[in-house]
A and B are shown apart, each in its own frame.
Chain A
Amino acid sequence: MLGAFSRRPDWSRPQIVALGAALLVLVGAITPWADLYTLDAEPFVVAGHEVYSGFDFVPLPYGVKHADGRPNVPLADSAGLLVAALALVGAAILFLRRPMLRARLAPIPFALVAAISLYHVANIRANLAVGPDCVYARQVQIQWGLYLAAAASLVATWGASRRLRGRPAPSAQPDEVAGTVSARAAPFLVSAAPAASHIELTSLAPRRRLEERLAKAGLLVSASMALIVLAWLIGRLAMAGLPHVDTAFLECNPAFSRRAVDEAGIRSALHGSWWLAILVLAMALPVGILAGIYMNEYAKPTRLNRLLRLTIANLAGVPSVVFGILGLAIFVRPLDLGFIETGGLGFVILAGALTLSVLSLPVIIVATEEALRAVPRAIREAAYGLGATKWQVTKDHVLPNAIPGIATGSILALARAVGETAPLILVGGAAAAYFVPSGPLDHYSALPLLTYNWAKLSQAEFRELAAAATLVLLAFIVAMNLVAILLRNHFQKKLRW
């Protein structure tokens, strides 16, 4: 029976898209489920019905009701389960071996999912209750989940219905060794390489074979630890925090008293982090890029330049909390060095942004240098040959070619600065800034700072709030990282010197 499913289907791109979409359908179906998992004592309204959550295990609260308007929980349950099952069946069909069968069968379950999801979205929209904000937010969230499911299943329908391009069966590939042999060693390996690929399983002494296999397995296991850790981290944080993340959470200001847990949000911290990011971008980026240009294009190996290089490398290795001490001493507090005296800015956004700028400066400089170094010499020399001056060469020929690399590095540096907590503890001051800051010289809180302050409280509610705030922070940072990684991969493929 299992023979009907190929172990390694010859995936074409639309099918991979379809499989991804099927996973999204599951996620979309789970979003309302995760929402229901909050242990509420009060009933809340889903699609016009009161639903007691927590002990009433309603996996997928699709709005199905009796004729008299009471919720039909069993039917709603089965509707939700049906969607999940259909998504799984659709995904399984994608693994069928016969391409024609696949292309004809797979769209059916996905189209059904799309229809059901859209029907329920319409149902919920019709019944949106005018009640307390948080309930409204939950309904909006459920709606998003269903939209997601509907959109993903439409994409899956499209992807699954594509006919496959037949790909030739993988012929016996020469061992990887043969591909990596360098020109110098090639003559010696002409006869050895094919032999090496066969040695492995046939003529090796059993002990060597065992060692080879054990080593490979051990390495694979340790390599997958990183993936496991990543999934564990994000999964557990999502489980703890996701129930709290809704529109109310984003729109309310922080609270630290137990009575106000339900009304606690991250609004002012979000604004604070936003201000910090903008200011760091405005201050560190120009200075960092100019410094990188100097170090890579202009700096001759003089003693001064070697000193500069040393300080930059050293600055990159300084622990972040030490930058906080620096910021505290020279930006926040009044400074008196004998020859310089400043009044000190106090615990304001500008002081925080200056500190974070100094912190991300070496990262940006090093990224810029690396990007510039990757631009081949020939481009510079061609431009010099046409009579361009040094600055003309740099700005018109070297810099444009290095921009993807600089952008990647800068995004990563900014992501790091936004998530940085330790220096802000020293220069952030106002632990609980309850209000949205009005300008760069106002007191502030930032997302990581608020998270820390919540996490320090011992009650479980606040830890969950902290997890929720971390989740929002992570969403931003992971998005920035992904953009940077994609940007780099895109240009790496495109640029061939």
Chain B
Amino acid sequence: MVAPVSEARPPPAYARRSAWTSLARLWERGIERVLLLAASVAAIATAAIIVVLLQNSWEFFRQVPLGDFLTGTDWSPDRGKFGVLPLVLGTLMVTVGAGIIALPLGIATAIYLSEFAHPRVRGVLKPALELLAGIPSIAFGIFAVIVVSPLLQAWFGANVYNAMNAVIVLSFMVLPIITSLAEDALRAVPQDLRAGALALGATKWEVTKQVVVPAALSGIMAAALLGFSRAIGETMAVALAAGLRPQWGIDFFESVLTMTAFIAQRAQGDTAQHGPAYYSLFAVGLLLFVNTFAVNIAAQWVLRRYREEY
């Protein structure tokens, strides 16, 4: 007769909780805590940026009314005029100009790389684009000062520091960003779509134009927006190329002051630490932060809203 299985049988050895396993559990949990702590550094940094900008901008807006700041057209902090519109206009001129040059070039390059390029050509162009993306902005600034500016002065009688100068180097800088993002979008289009269109007798360019690009449009638009956001935040090249005199008007061959360039310029000057001129640094920084944040969010929205599902 077989003895009935005892209810109180001890668990098998592998399931028993020894002192060792509970120590291991503790260790595992500790590791996870440490990792979470590391991950939250980024969150703390973001929060710190927002707090710092808001707190100091609050000080600024106690001294300068928000309405005057946002609608004023005279920016001269040393005389107590804080109308930010010339800075916004300068930023817009420079970034939109750079977009007009870099956008078609970047998208064409991306199309060439993803649809037409022989692997060997790709093997040269891709690293070149990555190198271009890796070149620091100060190098582009120097390039603007010693190469582009003399050319513009000779051809168009431009000012030494002018907006066009910044437009040109800025377009060089955002070109690799737009290209790599747009190429990713084009490559994500499934091969079946291309194959189907080719089978119907379309040429390669017709396939690209009528099938691949429309399918990747959301990604390409997001690439353009992200390039735009990068251009808004670019500082050194613009500060060196465009000069530091604010302009209220649209003349590409005159000096302009952008939001970022103002921050760089003001930070180096000996500003009294508590005057409105000092706090204007943070107010402009806040405006810059809000702008780039909005453009980045818009890019994500475009990506989600217009995504083609396959």
Contacts and interface: CB of A to CB of B under 8 A. Distances in A.
Contacts of B296: 313-314, 317
Interface in B121-151: 124-125, 127-132, 134-143, 145-147
B contact face: mostly helix, strand, loop, or mixed: helix
Contacts of A323: 49
Contact of A180 (B24, B136, B194): B194
Interface string B187-217: 0001110111011010111101100000000
A223 B134 contact: no
B39 A390 contact: no
A291 B35 contact: yes
B190 A182 contact: yes
B275 interface: no
Interface in A16-39: none
Contacts of A288: 38
B191 A180 contact: yes
Interface in A250-294: 286-288, 290-291, 293-294
A374 B237 CA distance: 36
B137 A422 contact: yes
Interface in A389-406: 389-391
A139 interface: no
B142 A463 contact: yes
Contact of A319 (B28, B108, B199, B234): B234
B249 interface: no
A421 B236 contact: yes
A233 B139 CA distance: 8
A333 B271 CA distance: 14
B267 interface: yes
Interface size bracket, B side: 35 or more
Interface stretch (B5-13, B67-75, B81-89, B284-292): B284-292
Interface string A278-321: 00000000111011011100110000000110011111011111
Contacts of A216: 116, 205
Contacts of A117: none
B218 interface: no
A312 B39 CA distance: 9
Contacts of B273: 333
B53 interface: yes
B205 A211 contact: yes
A146 interface: no
Interface string B96-140: 000000001100110111001100000011011111101111111
A294 B34 CA distance: 9
B263 A199 contact: no
Contacts of A412: 134
A212 B292 contact: no
Question: How large, as a class, is the contact surface on chain A?
Answer: 35 or more
B63 interface: no
B116 to A, nearest CB: 6
B46 interface: yes
Given A189-B198, A227-B128, A233-B172, A325 B135 contact: no
Contacts of A382: none
B45 A319 contact: no
Contact of B192 (A184, A208, A232, A420): A184
Contacts of A294: 32, 35-36, 38-39
Interface string B28-46: 1001101110111111011
B281 interface: yes
A455 B169 CA distance: 16
A420 B229 CA distance: 17
Interface of A: 177, 180-182, 184-185, 188-189, 192-193, 196, 199-200, 204, 208, 211-212, 215-216, 218-220, 222-227, 229-230, 232-233, 236-237, 240, 286-288, 290-291, 293-295, 298-299, 307-308, 311-315, 317-326, 328-330, 333, 337, 358, 361-362, 365, 389-391, 412, 415-416, 418-422, 425-426, 431, 448, 451-452, 455-456, 463-464, 466-467, 470, 473-474, 477-478, 480-482, 485
Given A180-B191, A193-B199, 8 more contacts: A212-B205, A219-B111, A223-B117, A308-B39, A318-B49, A319-B288, A426-B264, A448-B138
| For the complex of A and B, 8 pairs with smallest distance between CB atoms | A319-B233, A419-B136, A290-B38, A294-B35, A222-B108, A422-B235, A185-B195, A219-B112
